[in-house]
Amino acid sequence: MSDQEEILAKPYDPETIEKTWYDFWHKKGYFRPEFRPDGTPYTITIPPPNVTGELHMGHALQHAIHDSVIRFKRMQGFRTLCLPGTDHAGIGTQMKVEQQIWETEKKTRHDIGRTELLKRIWAWKEKYGSTILQQLRDLGCSYDWSRERFTMDEGYARAVLETFVRFYEKGWIYRGKRMVNWCPQCGTVISDLEVEEKEIQSHLWHIRYPGVDGAPDVVVATTRPETMLGDTGVAVHPTDARWQDAIGKQVMLPLMNRAIPIVADEYADPEMGSGAVKVTPAHDPNDNEVGKRHNLAEILVIGLDGTMTEDAGAYAGQDRYVCRKGVVAALEELGLLVKIDDHNHAVPHHDRCGTVIEPLPMEQWFVSMRDLADLILPVLREKQIEYVPDRFREYSIDWLENIRDWCISRQLWWGHRIPVWTCEDCNEVIVSVDSPEVCTACGSQKLIQDPDVLDTWFSSALWPFATMGWPDETEDLKAHRPTDLMITGRDILYLWVIRMIMTAEEFLGEIPFKTVLVHPTVQTRDGKRMSKSLGTGIDPRELIARYGADATRLSLLYQCGSSQDIRFDAEVKDNKLEESPIAEMCRNFCNKIWNAARFVQMNMDERDIQDPALRTLPEGISDLADRWILSLYNRTVKQVTHSLETYRFDEAARGLYEFVWSAYCDWYVEMAKVRLNGDDAKAREQVQSILCVVFEGTLRLMHPIAPFISEALWQTFPHEGEALIIASWPESNEAWLDEAAEREMAQLQEVVGAVRNIRGTMRIPPGKRVDVVFKTVSEDATAILLAAQNYMKELGRIENMTIGADVERPSQSASAVVGDIEIFVPLAGVIDLDVERQRLEKEIVGLEKALGGLEKKLGNEAFKKNAPANVVEAERARQAEYQTTLAKLQGNLAVLAE
Ligand SMILES: [Zn+2]
Ligand SMILES: [Zn+2]
Ligand found nearest the CA of 94:
1
Is residue 9 over pLDDT 80?
no
pTM for the whole thing? 0.87
Alpha helix (H) residue ranges in 129-246: 131-139, 154-169
- Lowest mean pLDDT segment, chosen from 220-229, 313-322, 885-894: 885-894
Ligand found nearest the CA of 444:
2
Percentage of the chain with pLDDT > 90? 65
Alpha helix (H) residue ranges in 509-610: 540-547, 549-557, 581-602
Interval between CA 688 and ligand 2 midpoint (Å): 85
Interval between CA 193 and ligand 1 midpoint (Å): 13
Interval between CA 171 and ligand 2 midpoint (Å): 22
Q: What would you measure as the largest C-alpha separation in the chain, in angstroms?
A: 118
* Residue 46: closest CA among 532, 402, 485: 485
Ligand found nearest the CA of 427:
2
Interval between CA 441 and ligand 2 midpoint (Å): 5
Interval between CA 364 and ligand 2 midpoint (Å): 23
Interval between CA 99 and ligand 1 midpoint (Å): 13
Is residue 4 over pLDDT 60?
no
Q: What is the mean pLDDT of residues 9-29?
A: 91
Q: What is the model's pLDDT at position 525?
A: 83
Ligand found nearest the CA of 348:
1
Q: What is the mean pLDDT of residues 720-725?
A: 94
Tens of pLDDT along 635-651? Answer: 999 999 999 999 999 99
Is residue 3 over pLDDT 60?
no
Interval between CA 471 and ligand 2 midpoint (Å): 30
Interval between CA 173 and ligand 2 midpoint (Å): 22
Q: How confident is the model at residue 29 (pLDDT cuts 50, 70, 90)?
A: very high
Q: How confident is the model at residue 7 (pLDDT cuts 50, 70, 90)?
A: low
Tens of pLDDT along 432-474? Answer: 999 999 999 999 999 999 999 999 999 999 999 999 999 999 9
Interval between CA 427 and ligand 2 midpoint (Å): 6
Interval between CA 447 and ligand 2 midpoint (Å): 8
Interval between CA 422 and ligand 2 midpoint (Å): 8
Tens of pLDDT along 601-638? Answer: 889 878 888 888 889 998 889 999 999 999 999 999 99
Is residue 37 over pLDDT 50?
yes
Q: What is the mean pLDDT of residues 302-308?
A: 90
Interval between CA 854 and ligand 1 midpoint (Å): 62
Ligand found nearest the CA of 426:
2
Ligand found nearest the CA of 421:
2
Interval between CA 456 and ligand 1 midpoint (Å): 15
Interval between CA 174 and ligand 2 midpoint (Å): 20
Percentage of the chain with pLDDT > 70? 99
Question: What are the E-state strand segments in 294-373?
Answer: 337-350, 358-367
- Which carries the bigger pLDDT value, residue 45 or residue 195? 45
Q: What is the model's pLDDT at position 611?
A: 86
Tens of pLDDT along 570-590? Answer: 887 877 888 889 999 999 999
Cα→Cα distances 6→3, 237, 601, 698, 700, Å: 5, 82, 12, 22, 22
Q: How far apart are CA 556 and CA 561, in angstroms?
A: 10
Q: What is the model's pLDDT at position 1?
A: 39
Q: What is the mean pLDDT of residues 470-481?
A: 94
Interval between CA 354 and ligand 1 midpoint (Å): 6
Interval between CA 881 and ligand 2 midpoint (Å): 92
Q: What is the model's pLDDT at position 298?
A: 92
Q: Are 284 and 359 in contact (CB under 8 A)?
A: yes
Ligand found nearest the CA of 442:
2
Is residue 839 over pLDDT 50?
yes
Ligand found nearest the CA of 422:
2
Tens of pLDDT along 390-439? Answer: 999 999 999 999 998 999 999 999 999 999 999 999 999 999 999 999 99
Ligand found nearest the CA of 186:
1
Q: What is the mean pLDDT of residues 16-25?
A: 94
Tens of pLDDT along 175-187? Answer: 999 889 999 988 8
Interval between CA 168 and ligand 2 midpoint (Å): 19
Interval between CA 170 and ligand 2 midpoint (Å): 23
Average pLDDT of every residue of the chain: 91
Ligand found nearest the CA of 446:
2
Interval between CA 250 and ligand 2 midpoint (Å): 49
Is residue 671 over pLDDT 80?
yes
Q: Are 297 and 281 in contact (CB under 8 A)?
A: yes
Interval between CA 464 and ligand 1 midpoint (Å): 30
Q: What is the mean pLDDT of residues 785-802?
A: 92
Q: What is the mean pLDDT of residues 150-177?
A: 96
Q: What is the model's pLDDT at position 574?
A: 78
Ligand found nearest the CA of 439:
2
Interval between CA 439 and ligand 2 midpoint (Å): 5
Ligand found nearest the CA of 181:
1
Q: Are 695 and 664 in contact (CB under 8 A)?
A: yes
Ligand found nearest the CA of 423:
2
Ligand found nearest the CA of 196:
1
Interval between CA 164 and ligand 2 midpoint (Å): 22
Q: What is the mean pLDDT of residues 236-248?
A: 89
Q: Are 230 and 280 in contact (CB under 8 A)?
A: yes
Kind and range of the H or E run holding 72? helix 57-75
Alpha helix (H) residue ranges in 668-725: 669-676, 681-702, 707-714
Q: How confident is the model at residue 329 (pLDDT cuts 50, 70, 90)?
A: very high
Q: How far apart are CA 841 and CA 847, in angstroms?
A: 10
Ligand found nearest the CA of 356:
1
